[in-house]
Amino acid sequence: MTLIVVYAYCDRTRNKHLTIVHKHNVLKVTDGLFLDSYDLIAKKFPSITVEKILVDAMMAHVVRDPARFDVIVTTNMFGDILSDLTSELSGSLGLGGTINAGDQFAMGQAAHGSAPDIAGQGVANPFSQMLSAAMLSAWHAQCSNNLSYLKASQSIESSIEACIKQKKITRDIGGSLTTAQTGKAVREHSKA
């Protein structure tokens, strides 16, 4: 089910380009199964371009040309590393949303984790958790075929984009707002 949802997500809402990141040359059994699963489902979605890249090469590619990528799927271990790298490339760990998706359940989490070093200080960037919620909502829209969740996802993303353009942001990306003030600014944009 999950693999079909990934392909349907690429087909309906993205640029029809899926990148699968693996380390099959070393992890032959586990990443072999991972790749074989995608190969089986890919036949049902011929309009989607599928690219397979070794994880170490992916790090170089994503630094050199991040705009080349649309939807990236990998295992949890590589996803954890890749989400931190791509978030920092965009300017801050606070800008990276991530989800872990299974057959029936998914979990959204901020790319920066719980950030215990800044807990309670009001300086954490809430965008990461909000973008994770947007991704989770989009995933649910595909699973349930309920486009209202996709609209919610798009609303979150556009509200965050508006806040960034207007510098209603936390200090990690050049602003001066607290976590709560930034969250309030996103909420205000979502109502507009």
- Encode pLDDT of 141-187 as tens digits: 888 889 899 999 999 999 999 999 999 999 999 999 999 999 999 99
**What tokens does 63 get?**
């630094």
The listed CATH number (1.10.3470, 3.40.50, 3.40.1350, 3.30.43) that belongs to domain 1-90: 3.40.50
CA distance 84 to 143: 26
Domain segments of the chain as ranges: 1-90, 119-192
- Encode pLDDT of 101-126 as tens digits: 776 888 888 777 777 888 899 999 99
Percentage above 70 pLDDT, the chain: 92
For residue 157, what pLDDT is reported? 94
Alpha-carbon torsion, ordered 140, 100, 114, 133, to 10 deg = -20
Whether the pTM exceeds 0.85: the reply is no
